[in-house]
Structure 1
Amino acid sequence: MAVYTHVSAEALGEFLKRYDVGELVSAKGIAEGVENTNYLVDTTTDRFILTLYEKRVAADDLPFFMALLDHLAEKGLPVPPAIKDREGVEIQQLCGRSACLIKFLPGISLTTPTPAQAQAAGAALADMHRAVDDFRGERPNSMGIATWRPLLARCGADLDGIAPGLFDELSSALDRIEAAWPTDLPVCAVHADLFPDNVLMRGDAVTGLIDFYFACTDLRAYDLAVMHGAWAFDPAGPTYRSEIGDALIQGYGPLTEAEQAAFPILAAGAALRFALSRSWDWLNTPADALVTRKDPLAYVRRLRHYLA
């Protein structure tokens, strides 16, 4: 979440008139994240998240995201579907951007999860994967393995300004990952970005899975590998917390033998993906954006762990 597009109180008030949600009381920009513009919106009846979709989220992909959220909500999962306006429309236009008013879910995102919380989060991911057995929507992974080498090339020698020798290190890692990447594992609709800040909790209970804007069709075990790298290390990356990684996998449930064998390379691929995207954002985030940049080296350290 972030704020790139500034929405005036007047424009937001007019926008809300499309819905049966009462009148605007307050709105506050949310700085966390890097993808879209987000506001926490309070009205006279409830609380919502307003999301304006920036360049990385293609308007043509929004129907897939909304259909997936609606499907999961109908299955009883704690996800935030978009609110429909009086005409039954979910995807709107505001300030020149596609926009949605989204259900607010209670709970907090964690900085340092416990094993019990990691186990619950792993179980929630498994619940999601079971719930999409009959979901027919498909979307290629816009940040999947086919995109990593072009992204590496776009970052180019500027990577060495982040850390000396970083371009060569990531290029060598990508060679290894591409050579070992599996192609015959189970596939389903995946979240692909289920970091601790995208899981809301109360105590040890999951109350929300949010931010589905990288959701796509990809290897099921890759989704768990993304979670593993995001949850099982300290934020800066050098320390692996095995009790968290083990609890996450235990909560998720048994993997197939092929998924188990492929898991280290899937986790390395996930680490490389975030090292590259964070590097790109580090090098290209506008100076005036209200956004928290994330350290790419935290994922380089995870990558080294998985490849060791």
Structure 2
Amino acid sequence: MDTEVPLEVLKAFGLGPLEEVRRAGGTASPKWSVRTPQGRFMVRARPADFADEASLKFDHAALRRLGEAGLPVPAPLAMPGGSTWILVGERVYEVLSWVAADSFDPADLGARTNLGRFLALFHRALSEDMPPGKQGRLREDHPALLEPYLDGLRELAATSAQCRQLGRIGEQLDLVRTQLDAGLYASLPHCVVHGDLHPGNLRFRNSQVAGVYDFDYLNVQARARDLSDALMFFASNRNLPLDPDDIRSLTQPFVPDRRLAGLLIGGYEETTLLAGDEWSALPLLMRSRWIQMRLRGSRKVHPEEKLPFVLDRFFEVTDWLEAQGSAWFENLREDLS
């Protein structure tokens, strides 16, 4: 785990000598809050999967668009030569303006409504005329991207019970493939989505969204994909408080809360009404994302911990979705009509 920000980055961006540095969280790649004579900034290492030039240009153009729309996003800083990123060693770094904000307070009901309003404005700002760079990419939880993780886990399985459970997860992927990706997903309204909404990537102040971070998964996808994330991470109940910097906490089972979900979706629909197909897709998107969280999240734990990480209480969420998901969303839609 990285503990020190590369000083070459500060020098290249002309920020002056380092006065203070703090780790700023992240389960995939490190980022730091740094203070220099020029002020406070966020220095972030880009994950290798999103460190290519086309992705960087796309993401930074989107940030500028969102900032012009008045949304609270950090602005990418440029070096004297104009580039907004730098390669140091084997890693690509970006420097972003600092956005002062607070962690999400689960007791703040108004934050849910305002998050819904924010997402509608976010999607509207990125609905058209985006630059090239990320065309044709599958969403992160697409079954085709998750199958290799499942195959790797099958090689680790040592008991018949583990094999059966992994087989059931394979059936869940098949369900997503046939019910969501065979046609429904492509029919949903699309725009550029954030793609990774959770309390580690959103900050609040006075119940308003005051800061948004980590734009690696910005991509043209179904806008309901962001709403599914928002419902899972900001409008659901868990046994333990959610710690976004702990992968096990972040991926613990959840049950959506109808009251909180109504506040969030109600805020979104003040600007943009959801289409009927989007309501139908939400439980499938939630299922797909849950599978992804466990399968892809397993890469962040030691090999001997991968199977327990994936399988522990996995089916609590899929069983709930199977038994209650469709009716739950139908009832929520009626609440808001």
Q: TM-score, normalised by structure 1?
A: 0.84
Is residue 2:145 matched to residue 1:147?
yes
Give the partner amino acid of 2:268: Y
1:104-183 alignment runs, 5 A limit: 104-110=98-104, 112-137=106-131, 139=134, 140-141=137-138, 143-145=140-142, 146-158=144-156, 164=162, 165-181=164-180, 182=184, 183=186
Give the partner amino acid of 1:119: T
Give the partner amino acid of 2:147: R
Give the partner amino acid of 1:70: R
Identity %: 24
Kept in 1, the 8 Å contact 2:232–2:254? The answer is: no
Q: 2:300 aligns with which of 281, 284, 302?
A: 281
Rounded Cα–Cα distance in structure 2 between residues aligned with 1:43 and 1:296: 45
- Equivalence for 2:31: 38
Cα shift at 1:95: 3.4
Kept in 2, the 8 Å contact 1:114–1:244? The answer is: no
Give the partner amino acid of 1:268: R
Q: 1:262 aligns with which of 281, 303, 306?
A: 281
Q: 2:215 aligns with which of 190, 195, 212?
A: 212
- Equivalence for 2:51: 58
- Equivalence for 1:289: none
Cα shift at 1:82: 1.3
Give the partner amino acid of 2:172: A
Cα shift at 1:211: 1.0
Cα shift at 1:281: 2.2
Rounded Cα–Cα distance in structure 1 between residues aligned with 2:67 and 2:314: 32
1:72-91 alignment runs, 5 A limit: 72-91=66-85
What is the aligned length?
Answer: 293
- Equivalence for 2:13: 19
Is residue 2:268 matched to residue 1:252?
yes
Q: Secondary structure at the match of 1:188?
A: strand
Q: Which runs of 5+ in 2 are unaligned?
A: 243-251, 324-337
Rounded Cα–Cα distance in structure 2 between residues aligned with 1:173 and 1:67: 36
Q: TM-score, normalised by structure 2?
A: 0.78
Distance 1:168 1:220, change over 3 A: same
Q: Secondary structure at the match of 2:42?
A: strand
Kept in 2, the 8 Å contact 1:276–1:296? The answer is: no
Give the partner amino acid of 1:279: S
Kept in 1, the 8 Å contact 2:117–2:268? The answer is: yes
Distance 1:56 1:166, change over 3 A: farther
Is residue 2:303 matched to residue 1:305?
no
Rounded Cα–Cα distance in structure 2 between residues aligned with 1:74 and 1:88: 19
Q: Secondary structure at the match of 2:130?
A: coil
Kept in 2, the 8 Å contact 1:71–1:135? The answer is: no
The alignment's C-alpha RMSD in Å is: 2.7
1:216-239 per-position Cα deviation (integer Å, ceiling 9, x unaligned):
111111221122112222243244
1:164-188 per-position Cα deviation (integer Å, ceiling 9, x unaligned):
4541231121111111002211111
1:55-77 per-position Cα deviation (integer Å, ceiling 9, x unaligned):
34332422221121122112221
Q: Secondary structure at the match of 1:118?
A: helix
Cα shift at 1:284: 5.4
